[in-house]
Amino acid sequence: MHFLDQAKIYVKSGWGGGGAVGFRREKYIEYGGPDGGDGGKGGDIIFEAVPGLNTLIDFRYTQHFRAQRGHGGSGSNKTGAGGDDLVIKVPVGTQILADDEERTLLADLTKAGERIVFLRGGDGGRGNASYKTSTNRTPRQHGTGWPGEEAYVWLRLKLLADAGLVGLPNAGKSTFINAVTNAQAKVGAYAFTTTRPQLGVVRHKGNEFVVADIPGLIEGAAEGAGIGDRFLGHIERCKVLLHLVDANDVDVGESYRIVRDELDAYGAGLLDKKIIVALNKIDMLDDELIAALSAELEEASGAEVIAISGAAGIGLDWALDKLLEAIGPDHARVSEDDEGEDELEWSPI
């Protein structure tokens, strides 16, 4: 399935149904009077966040959405049926933005099952029975129904993850997420192996949390270099970032600063998040060199550095401990595999 995180669509709620012009016509009843019913309300446009979706690819092929029009009224004071609401299902984490220069945020769907009535359908028109007065006993006027609302909007998906991975291309992010989660991210010995965000679920010490891997950043990403920084939006919701630095880089301190400068240029509070720094790919290095590189990276970052290897599985528990501590027990979910472990087996005695 292709990944798409932005889409522009047109939405329109339904028109209200027209009111009826009718007069009561029954045997032995003279001058029955007006009995035209009102029209039905037009259908609403509703957005609903549903689990199981992680792309907006469906909106590449379907871009116009119109709710049903309300049905017209009829005689005998019968109100027309309302038009069916149109429910547009989107992934959890979808934002609805106005089609203006500022891309004003109109709605943010962050919970599964969350629904919003985005455009309300038009009210039905009045039937002629509602126009009857003491001086207008046989009205023939009626309402045609009120128009629905319409708009062009942008949908933008920001994946929901507890932790995010950042680093230069080939820093080992895909290898790390494959090692600690159920993800199957592509791994290759060339830059920009990852071309779209990846999600994986970590199960660690009876808890589980979601990790997001995004394409690597290079110097000038904020100006569009490489893949650019557009995928950084997918880690805006993360509680902690794991910054991976390749131990084989010529200058690990400079590698750290490049990515940090791009995060700063992007903004959105990314540098205000808890950031864990990890020296990756240490499996081919001796202890002395690992210590020297870790010290160099600590000096550049001003933070504790953990030494790991995603490919060899070295230090992964240490890294997961740090992530779990930063996420906090209130946000990490209890793993289903561990639920009920402390319960005693049933016994008839």
Residue list for the binding site for GTP: 167-174, 213-216, 280-283, 309-311
Q: What is the C-alpha to C-alpha distance for residues 167 and 165, in angstroms, rounded to an integer? A: 7
Q: Report the binding-site residues for Mg(2+).
A: 174, 194
Contacts of 303 (CB under 8 A, 6+ apart): 275, 276, 277
Q: What is the C-alpha to C-alpha distance for residues 86 and 220, in angstroms, rounded to an integer? A: 43
Check: CB of residue 210 under 8 Å from CB of residue 133: no
Q: Report the binding-site residues.
A: 167-174, 194, 213-216, 280-283, 309-311
What one-character-per-residue DSSP string does 181-219 give?
SS------SSTT---S-EEEEEEETTEEEEEEE-PPP-T
Q: Closest by alpha carbon to 280, among 175, 202, 172? A: 172
Residue 36 structure tokens: 């035209």
Residue 123 structure tokens: 């009210």
Q: What is the C-alpha to C-alpha distance for residues 185 and 163, in angstroms, rounded to an integer? A: 16
Q: Closest by alpha carbon to 118, among 187, 171, 45? A: 45
CA dihedral 330, 334, 335, 339 (to 10 degrees): 170
